[in-house]
Amino acid sequence: MAEKKEPEQSKEEPRIGVYVCHCGLNIAGSVDCADVAKFAATLPHVVLAKDNRYTCSDQGQDLIKKDIKENKLNRVVVASCSPRLHEPTFRKTCEEAGLNKYLFEMANIREQCSWVHLYDKEAGTEKAKDLVKVAVAKAALLEPAEESEVPITRKALVIGGGVAGIQAALDLADTGHKVYVVEKEPSIGGMMARIDKTFPTMDCSICILAPKMSDVGHHPNIELFTNSEVTEVKGYIGNFHIKVLKKPRYVTKDCSACGECAKVCPIVAPNEFDVGLAIRHGIYTPFAQAVPSTYIIDMNLCLNKDGVVVCDKCMKACERQAVKYEMKPETVDLEVGTIIVATGADVFDPTSLPDYGYGKYQNVITSLEFERLINAGGPSGGHLIRPSDNQIPKRVAFVQCVGSRSNKSGRLYCSNVCCMNTIKDSLLIKEHWPETEIYVFYVDIRAYGKGFEDLYKRARKAGVVFVRGLPAEIIEDKKTKNLWLIGENSLQKELYKISVDMAILSIGLEARKDSENIQRLLTLSRTQDGFFMEAHPKLRPVDAATGGVFFAGCAEGPKDIKDSVTQASAAAARAGILMAQGKVTVEAITPIMFPEKCKVCGLCLKVCPYNAITLNKDLKRVELIEAACGGCGTCAAECPFGALTQKHFTDEQIIAQIDAVTENNAEKKIVAFCCNWCSYAGADFAGVSRMQYPPNARIIRTMCSGRVAQKFVERAFARGAAAVLVAGCHIGDCHYINANYQTQKRVERLWKKMEQNGLNKERLQLLWASAAEGEKFASKIKEMKTIVDNVTSKEIETAQKVFEKALGEV
């Protein structure tokens, strides 16, 4: 790393080829691609510039290869879509033509230009030209680089033991990988274990799950940690160091699950597994098919909680002497190469919707409670009885979208499973008690999946009444405890007031309350809904942005069992591929050091989120552990002596980009530094959703906002930029653990400096935007447009004076 020898290609004069892509009309619709190409040809070092319809097509790629050979191109710039989409494609193209892939650069003129300036072709074209100029400027300074390899531990961690976790674990274990499954409940099985039947096939949920559960329990390659939690994740792709907290069960593996202990336990509590509809004892097993079958003591309830054994009934009752009140929590250290997040989802709590009276009226229950009631193994032995009088209801209502697609509940998304679940449930009732009257109040029935429509039809045939329009409120008849559902039938445009014996709220799925912990531990990002966000919605749907981490099941979004299992197998395959390769190459974006400039101040050690920089006391110098380096570039941004810079994002390159942006009418421009993972992706998302915003912004991409050195901002102002935007992931969501804390500090320093020098600090904006917050990005640019418009040339000049020193550097 540090002392780098100059590779051949960079010695010779840069010969740049520029390719402007029409992307059909996606770009060409609002950008004059030919004009852009013509302009590109005029730029320094550019030997040829072409525009074509689909640069990413085979022909497009072949053209590039041909030119590289025939015209001795040693740099390539493609102006098309987002590098997040096709940079890998074109890098491969270059490599195939014998050009080092780090000599390729991209100009994002689709997501960040054509799509967001649909109706202003002129401005779009101008911006496109700028973007190409910026890309070319950087390209001229690009240097070839070799990627280093990191070995991958051939072990996987699966967090969550629901059906997704179970499937992922079994797939990986069957392919010969060691798998650790960590489940926070006493048993694996998750939500599926609590459901009675599955749609659309109507087979018994636990009957098909139980065998898989016991496979996990017995698989030679699987080590199961139940009643446990992941408390620490350190390291990086291929080399994660995990700490798992094994909470005590107070019962050893010797337990034969005979149940004698529970019989004598004086403590009684509602069983969480049955949503409190059945009792359990202080020592218990959540359900008959639990894996492991070992019982567990609820120490919060046990009389022996404060260390003194007051009651030893269960201990005495246990022939195998498996009860150990003094069991202590233990922390286990695991080394794994990949992690699959299968933490599942919670169900919506309808008490926050007082109009439906859940919790107030006994006969209003949730669909989850219904599952336990209709389940033959459940508290009522499969008899659908209403809580108020334990009678079998004659008239039943299902209310859909409780906690889905509604502003009231704050859950704007569709939970995917509720419609089919209700249809399934209604049929179950009909099966057992055909004469029951069933009403389903819905917004839309979404029977989109294989075999779903048939089931829906069956339900209608069976006489289930579907009423479009949710009840506005539910009222209880104090005497009969029957319920009145009042609302508007939006098809017949008339009010309804229907009386039923029992109402079932079809509750939606929501992100786990404790998702934040997992997010922090694994430095993941989440969508606005709170579910974990995949690296790419289309092309990497089960990968997390963090290398080596994958998603399965509802953790990534509401899913039914089939989709969860599918995704689980996919995640297992993705993880399996990594582990099969046995090594992973790290992008050559790690720091370069210039020891001669280093004063060993140790600042870089302090700011590195990965502790990848260490101080060698003997040699009085700092050293880099390349494998541990995440490549955020924060160290380079912080180093006061320019002794550090980041490969492929060198100071020279970024400054060249700034200069390119500000070369002409800087006073109308916003220099926007965006981090690759959140804010740049957010900007892309704005494009994908065709959100229109003013064309003033020029985005310069860094891997992390932490890379944005103070001098970059200062130079932008010194060069007369109207405004500067520094955008990163939300604090806490940083893909480089916490590098963006440094960003914040730096921007605050700059604000102070601007104030002290009588500058309008509004000209420098800091934005935290997730990859899903395109809207937020767009409106920020709109907001800044007004700032730009109000900046006087006077202000610009003073700024230039204040920061002129920044011009001197480099």
Partner 1 sequence: MTKEILQHPLSSYLRTDMMPHIWCPGCGNGIVLNCFVHALDELKMDLDKLVVISGIGCIGRTAGYTNTDSFHTTHGRSIAFATGVKLANPELNIVIVSGDGDLFAIGGNHFIHAARRNIGIKVVCVNNFNYGMTGGQLGPTTPLDAITTTSPYGNSEHPFNLVHLAAASGAIYVARWTTLHVRRLTQSLKKMMQKEGFCFVEVISPCPEVFGRRNKLKSGMDMMELFKKASVVENFSDPAKAEITPEKIVVGEFVDIEKMSYEKLFHEKIASINEKTMEQVR
Partner 2 sequence: MPERIKHKPLDSDKITPPRAEIHIIKDQCKGCGYCISFCPKKVLEESDEINARGVRPPRVVDEGQCIVCSFCSAVCPDFAIYVVDRKSEGEKKA
Residues that bind partner 2 (CB under 8 A): 185, 266-268, 270-279, 303, 308, 310-311, 313, 346-347, 349, 351, 358-359, 362, 365-366, 368-369, 379-380, 385, 387, 390, 513
Q: Which does 387 bind (CB under 5 to 8 A by kind): partner 1, partner 2, none?
A: partner 2
d(CA 387, CA 364): 9
Smaller CB separation from partner 1, 91 or 313: 313
Q: Which does 368 bind (CB under 5 to 8 A by kind): partner 2, partner 1, none?
A: partner 2
d(CA 625, CA 234): 15
Measured from the CB of residue 231, what is the shortest distance to partner 1 in angstroms?
23
CB burial of 314-336 (b: ≥16 within 10 Å; e: otherwise) equals: bbebbeeebbbbebeeeeeebeb
Measured from the CB of residue 510, what is the shortest distance to partner 2 in angstroms?
10
Smaller CB separation from partner 2, 59 or 352: 352
Phi, psi (5° rounding) for residue 160? 110, 130
Measured from the CB of residue 321, what is the shortest distance to partner 1 in angstroms?
9
Query: Among 79, 74, 80, which residue's Cα sits nearest to residue 101?
Result: 74
**Strand 613-616, strand 621-624: pairing:** antiparallel
Stretch that binds partner 1, among 124-132, 246-254, 303-311, 728-736 (CB under 8 A): 303-311
- Helices 793-802, 710-718: axis angle to 10 degrees equals 130
Neighbour tally for 231: CB within 10 Å: 13
d(CA 390, CA 508): 26
Stretch that binds partner 1, among 135-143, 304-312, 394-402, 759-767 (CB under 8 A): 304-312
Smaller CB separation from partner 2, 81 or 302: 302
CB 247 within 8 A of CB 182: no
Measured from the CB of residue 304, what is the shortest distance to partner 1 in angstroms?
8
> Which residues 307-326 are close enough to bind partner 1 by CB under 8 A?
307-312, 315-316, 326
The residue within the footprint of partner 1, chosen from 12, 306, 596, 618 (CB under 8 A), is: 306
Smaller CB separation from partner 1, 309 or 580: 309
Measured from the CB of residue 309, what is the shortest distance to partner 1 in angstroms?
4
Smaller CB separation from partner 2, 266 or 354: 266
CB 519 within 8 A of CB 525: yes
Q: Which does 92 bind (CB under 5 to 8 A by kind): partner 1, partner 2, none?
A: none
Measured from the CB of residue 532, what is the shortest distance to partner 2 in angstroms?
18
Measured from the CB of residue 419, what is the shortest distance to partner 2 in angstroms?
21
Q: Which does 349 bind (CB under 5 to 8 A by kind): partner 1, partner 2, none?
A: partner 2
Return the bridge partners of 197, or none.
Answer: 204
Measured from the CB of residue 314, what is the shortest distance to partner 1 in angstroms?
11
Q: Which does 543 bind (CB under 5 to 8 A by kind): partner 1, partner 2, none?
A: none
Q: How far is CA 547 from CA 454, 516, 534, 632, 685, in A?
A: 41, 19, 11, 14, 21
In terms of DSSP H, where are the helices of 617-730? 634-638, 651-662, 679-688, 710-718
CB 531 within 8 A of CB 411: no
**Residue 785 amino acid letter:** K
Return the bridge partners of 283, or none.
Answer: 297
Measured from the CB of residue 294, what is the shortest distance to partner 1 in angstroms?
19
Smaller CB separation from partner 2, 369 or 563: 369
Q: Does 435 bind partner 1 (CB under 8 A)?
A: no
Q: Give the 3-state secondary structure of residue 75.
A: strand
Smaller CB separation from partner 2, 79 or 302: 302
d(CA 131, CA 108): 7
Q: Which does 351 bind (CB under 5 to 8 A by kind): partner 2, partner 1, none?
A: partner 2
Residues 6+ apart with CB under 8 A from 307: none
Measured from the CB of residue 520, what is the shortest distance to partner 2 in angstroms?
19
| Chain position carrying tokens 């699950």 | 257
Q: Which does 139 bind (CB under 5 to 8 A by kind): partner 2, partner 1, none?
A: none
Q: Which does 3 bind (CB under 5 to 8 A by kind): partner 1, partner 2, none?
A: none
In terms of DSSP H, where are the helices of 347-401? 367-374
Q: Which does 326 bind (CB under 5 to 8 A by kind): partner 1, partner 2, none?
A: partner 1
Measured from the CB of residue 291, what is the shortest distance to partner 2 in angstroms?
16
Measured from the CB of residue 270, what is the shortest distance to partner 2 in angstroms?
5
Smaller CB separation from partner 1, 318 or 402: 318
CB 502 within 8 A of CB 363: yes
d(CA 479, CA 460): 32
Smaller CB separation from partner 1, 250 or 348: 250
Q: Which does 315 bind (CB under 5 to 8 A by kind): partner 1, partner 2, none?
A: partner 1
Measured from the CB of residue 284, what is the shortest distance to partner 1 in angstroms?
21
d(CA 205, CA 276): 20
Smaller CB separation from partner 2, 112 or 380: 380
> Which residues 143-202 are close enough to bind partner 1 by CB under 8 A?
none
The structure tokens listed for 324 are 């150990």
Phi, psi (5° rounding) for residue 503? -120, 135
Beta strands in 371-501 (DSSP E): 395-402, 437-442, 465-468, 471-476, 483-489, 494-500
Smaller CB separation from partner 2, 274 or 659: 274
Return the bridge partners of 48, or none.
Answer: 17
Residues 6+ apart with CB under 8 A from 86: 56, 78, 80, 106
d(CA 379, CA 296): 20
Stretch that binds partner 1, among 233-241, 306-314, 484-492, 721-729 (CB under 8 A): 306-314
Q: Which does 307 bind (CB under 5 to 8 A by kind): partner 2, partner 1, none?
A: partner 1
Q: How far is CA 530 from CA 248, 345, 517, in A?
A: 31, 10, 12
Number of residues that bind partner 1 (CB under 8 A): 10
Smaller CB separation from partner 2, 143 or 369: 369
Smaller CB separation from partner 1, 13 or 326: 326
Smaller CB separation from partner 1, 309 or 376: 309
Smaller CB separation from partner 1, 53 or 305: 305
**Strand 540-544, strand 534-536: pairing:** antiparallel
Residues 6+ apart with CB under 8 A from 414: 404, 405, 446, 558
d(CA 303, CA 311): 6
Of all helices (H) and strands (E), which one includes residue 492? none
Q: Which does 275 bind (CB under 5 to 8 A by kind): partner 1, partner 2, none?
A: partner 2
Measured from the CB of residue 295, what is the shortest distance to partner 2 in angstroms?
17
Measured from the CB of residue 438, what is the shortest distance to partner 2 in angstroms?
21
Contacting positions for partner 1 (CB under 8 A): 306-312, 315-316, 326
